[in-house]
Amino acid sequence: MSASLVAAAARQRATRGTARVACAADRPHAPAERRAIRRALRAWFTRHARDLPWRRTHDPYRVWLSEVMLQQTQVRTVVPYYERFLAAFPSVEVLAEAPEERVLKLWEGLGYYSRARNLRRAAKQLVERHAGRFPTTADAWKALPGVGRYTAAAIASIVSGERTAVLDGNVKRVLSRLCLVWARIDEKTTLDRLWELADELVDPEQPGDFNQAMMELGARVCTPRRPDCDACPLARWCRARAAGEAERLPVRSARRVVPAVELLTAAVRCRGRWLLARRPATGLLAGLWGWPSVEGGDLDGAGAMEVSLRERFGVRTRLGAMLGTIEHVFTHRRWVLRVYEGRTDGARRKPPSDADWRWVTSNEMQALPLARVDQKVWELVRERLGD
């Protein structure tokens, strides 16, 4: 086949795909169908909803905390963090007064640490500007640090009964199958349309329960792989199921290759104490403590590391044996840390009171907020060098 015929065939397939998307995604269910969907989903949620601690209350502080923790994090992971966090910070006033380091420590291991910093910033804003009173609308919630459209809608619908829809990963998947949306769900035009479909479908009488039910359905029945269509309360109205296409939806763009960043990391011990540094106030893992590191894949970076240790921390160190390699994957990058023992001359400088570094014992290290990647380094160091 000639190149021109191949191109023409490709254009024809693209045109058919565009027509199919428009036909499916631009045609919401009829009003009677939407009412039936709401009833069926409400009945299913009443019978099958998980008993989660934040579902036993309409307290805005607790609902807000749960929604922030649940961002890109599974429910089973969140529950113990939620309970520990509330035990330490039972009210917005207590959270507002808490040192950032303590907040980060309670968040340790949950990831996406900007959520914890924004939570504390928002708490201070609520106490200082609003006398501890919480917003009552989604628009007002969005004015707080770290609260976006989805989180604001979830809180306002659950706490205040505002008729506003949510669109998280689970709801996107449910809607793309229910409405047979073939467009890539990570493209802005598709997301805008999914928000419209969600707004049209949300239950005006019980929006909070409806939104939670949609998320629950996506998490437990309308799952990414092998959706359990036979158990789905919405199967009767699901266009993807009727077309036999449920497992192929939703459609996403091809994943980008996650770039690797190579780091040389030093485990420096001097007279029974380990050298740790606090990361900058902005950027990845901001405000957390970790091991001194410089970019560089191997001992080619040794000179830069030794200069950094001498100039920043006042410690003369040469890198000794390599202890091992740690890999840690973030959302948009992958770190490869080559961990070396740092051998000092036995002298150490005392950090000033406002320093972003310190010498700590093994026990003192347990009180500092460490990112998971730095905990992995500590596990390696203990295995190779002991406490």
Return the active site residues: 67
> At residue 45, what are phi and psi to the nearest 5 degrees?
-65, -40
- What the block records as the tokens of 60 is 């805005």
Q: Count Cβ neighbours within 10 Å for each residue of 199-233 and write b for 16 or more, e otherwise.
A: eebbbeebbbbbbbbbbbbbbebbeeeebebeebb
Rounded to whole angstroms, the Cα distance separating 212 from 268 reads 49
Q: Is the peptide bond before 259 cis (omega within 30 degrees of 0)?
A: no
Distance of CA 369 to the CA centre of its chain: 18
Supply angle C-alpha 163, 169, 174, rounded to 5. 70
Q: Which domains does the chain have, with CATH numbers?
A: 14-248 (1.10.340.30), 260-385 (3.90.79.10)
- Spatial neighbors of 17 by CB under 8 A, at least 6 apart, are 182
Rounded to whole angstroms, the Cα distance separating 178 from 249 reads 10
Q: Is 142 exposed, middle or buried (0-12, 13-18, 19+ CB in 10 A)?
A: middle
- What the block records as the tokens of 154 is 């979830």
Secondary element (H or E) of residue 278:
strand 273-278
pLDDT in 10s for each residue of the chain, 387 residues: 444 443 344 334 433 443 344 344 457 789 999 999 999 999 999 999 999 999 999 999 999 999 999 998 999 999 999 999 999 999 999 999 999 999 999 999 998 999 999 999 999 999 999 999 999 999 999 999 999 999 999 999 999 999 999 999 999 999 999 999 999 999 999 999 999 999 999 999 999 999 999 999 999 999 999 999 999 999 999 999 999 999 999 999 888 888 889 999 999 999 889 999 999 888 889 899 999 998 876 656 678 888 888 888 888 888 888 999 999 998 888 999 999 999 887 777 888 877 899 999 999 998 999 999 999 999 999 999 887
- Spatial neighbors of 182 by CB under 8 A, at least 6 apart, are 17, 20, 21, 24, 25, 249, 251
Name the amino acid, one letter, at 165. Answer: A
